[in-house]
Structure 1
Amino acid sequence: MINHEFDIIRVLIASQDDAMIKKLILCLTENAYETVTVNNKTDARKNLLSFQPHILLLDRQIPTMNSLDLCREFHNACNIPILMLSNDDNIVDKVLSLEIGCDDFMTKDFDSRELIARIRAIVRRSHSNMPDFSTLSGTSPSADSDSSAKCITFPGLVINLTNYSVSYRGATIEMPPRELELLYFLASSPNQVFTREQLLDHVWGYEYVGDTRTVDVHIKRLRAKLPGKNSWSIATVWGVGYKFQTKPAKSE
C-alpha cells in the first residue's frame, strides 16, 4: 500500500541507460507507480507538460546532454522534485547536484526498497509546493494564484521565491537556488531558531548524511552578499543554530 497523499505517483525517467531503465520500471511498477521514459531534453520538456510527473529521476551520465544543466533549468522553471542517479558516489558530483537543485542523489546500484522510500519522502515533502508546469509552456499562472505568498520583504531586502530573485538595497543579488531557499526559509519565520539539522531537512529536502557544516558555509556566503547594518540579520544562536533576527541584538 502506498503511504502518501496521492493515489498514484507519476515518475518521469530521463536516461539512456537501458539496464537502469529496466530496473527502475520494474521497481516502480511493482509499487503501482506510473512511469514515462525519455532520453533527450526535448522529450523531457514535452512530457513534463503532458505527463505532469510528481518527480523526475535524472541520469547523471547522459551522453547527449548535460544533466546538470537540465536539472538547473527544470528546478528553476517549474520546481519539479529531482532525484539524481549516478554511476558512482563521487562526493564533488553529489554536492554539485544537490547545490543546483536536486532533492536527492543515489547511485545506480540502488536498493529498490530504499529508492521507493526516498521517492515517497521527496513527494511527501513537496506536496505543499507542487510543480508549476505552466511556466514550461510559456503561459502565466492563473490570476487566482497567490504569488505574493512567495515574496518576503524587509527594509532594503526583497526575497522572491516565485522567480528566484533577491534584491538588496535596490540591487539584484545573484544567488544559487540553495542559498536563496535557505534565506527565504529563515526569513519566513523571523526570530525563530532552527538547528542545522532542521535547515538541512527543510531546505535541502533530503536525509543528509555527513557534515552539517554545509549550512555554515551557506550562511557565511549569505552574510557576505548582504553586508552592512540593517534592522534584520542572520544571527547565530551559539550551540543551537541560526535565525533571521529582526530586532537588534541586546548587549550582554
Structure 2
Amino acid sequence: MTILLVEDDEVIRRSVTLALERYGYRVVSAGDGLTGLELFREGRHDLLLLDVMLPGLDGIGLCRRIRETSMDPVLMMSARGDALDVVSGLEAGADDYVVKPVDTAVLVARIRSLLRRAVYTPAAPPAAGRGRPERSGADGQTLLVFGDLTLDTAGLEVSLAGRPVALAPTELRLLLEFAAHPGTVLDRQTLLRNVWDYGWDGDSRVVDLCVQRLRRKIGADRVETVRGFGYKLRR
C-alpha cells in the first residue's frame, strides 16, 4: 500500500513517514501542495494524507484538485482541529480528518478504516419481503432501485436517471448503509460505527458534511433529516 503524504513540517513529515513504514506502508512525501499535486499526477497511491496548512497550494485546494480526477481516499490533518479547517476539508471532498499531534496508533487505525472503505464489499441483501426495493439484473447482479436512483451492489456503481454518479468511497458506503435500511432513521453514532468503522462521542460533523456531499450528487430530497435523531433514505 502506498500513501502520499503532503506535510510542510519536515520533522512531522519524517516522523509520520517512519511510523507508517514501520506498519508496512510505502510512503511518498512532499513538503508543499504543488509538489504534492505533481506526485499525485505522476503515480498511483492507495491513500492521500494531506496537511491543511501548506505553502503554495494549501491542503483544501489540493484536495479539490485531487477530487477533479480521483476518488482515492483522502485523510486531512489539522493542527488545531479548528472548525473552519475541518469543515473546509470535508466539504472539499476529504473522507476523514485527524487533529495533530496525532498518536501513531490512531492515525494508522484511521488509515486502515479508509482503506477498508475503499475496497468495501457489501453484505448479502436481506431476504425478500422486507420492503427493500431490489431486483436482480440480467447478469445476476443485485440492483437497488429508488425511483430514478439505482445502486448496483455487486459492481458498486450508482446511476441517476441512467447516468453514472461518481461517489467517493465513504459516500458510497454511506449510501449503501442508507439503502440497506430504507425509511429507517439512522443516528450519527450508528453511521460512524457502520460507515467510518469507529465510535465517536464528540464531533459528528464528518457525518453531516458527508451527507451534504451525497445530497449534492443524488438529489437533496433523497436523504431526509429527522431533526434531533439522524437521517433516513426516502423509500
* Structure 2 contact 49–74 (Cα < 8 Å) conserved: yes
Q: Does 1:198 align with 2:187?
A: no
Report the equivalent of 1:45: 41
Distance 1:216 1:23 in 2: 32
**3-state DSSP of counterpart to 2:43:** helix
98, 101, 121: which one pairs with 1:109? 101
Q: Does 1:63 align with 2:55?
A: yes
Report the equivalent of 2:147: 155
Could you tell me the percent identity over the aligned residues? 32
* Structure 2 letter corresponding to 1:54: D
Higher alpha-carbon deviation: 207-216 or 20-29: 207-216
Higher alpha-carbon deviation: 186-195 or 208-217: 208-217
Report the equivalent of 1:141: none
Report the equivalent of 1:140: none
* Structure 1 letter corresponding to 2:4: L
**3-state DSSP of counterpart to 2:116:** helix
1:24, distance to aligned residue in structure 2 (A): 1.0
* Structure 1 contact 164–177 (Cα < 8 Å) conserved: no
81, 89, 92: which one pairs with 1:89? 81
Distance 1:30 1:213 in 2: 31
**3-state DSSP of counterpart to 1:85:** strand
Q: 1:194 to 1:45 in 2, by over 3 A?
A: same
* Structure 1 contact 12–56 (Cα < 8 Å) conserved: yes
5+ residue gaps, structure 2, are 122-140
* Structure 2 letter corresponding to 1:83: L
* Structure 2 letter corresponding to 1:35: V
Distance 1:65 1:215 in 2: 26
Q: Does 1:243 align with 2:232?
A: yes
1:215, distance to aligned residue in structure 2 (A): 5.3
Q: Does 1:99 align with 2:95?
A: no
Larger Rg: 1
Q: 1:152 to 1:15 in 2, by over 3 A?
A: farther
TM-score scaled by structure 2? 0.63
Which digits, 9 at most, give the CA deviation of each residue in 1:132-161, with x for residues without a partner?
A: xxxxxxxxxxxxxxxxx899653355689x
5+ residue gaps, structure 1, are 1-8, 130-148, 228-232, 247-252
Report the equivalent of 1:145: none
Report the equivalent of 1:146: none
User: How many residues align structurally?
Assistant: 206
Report the equivalent of 2:2: 10
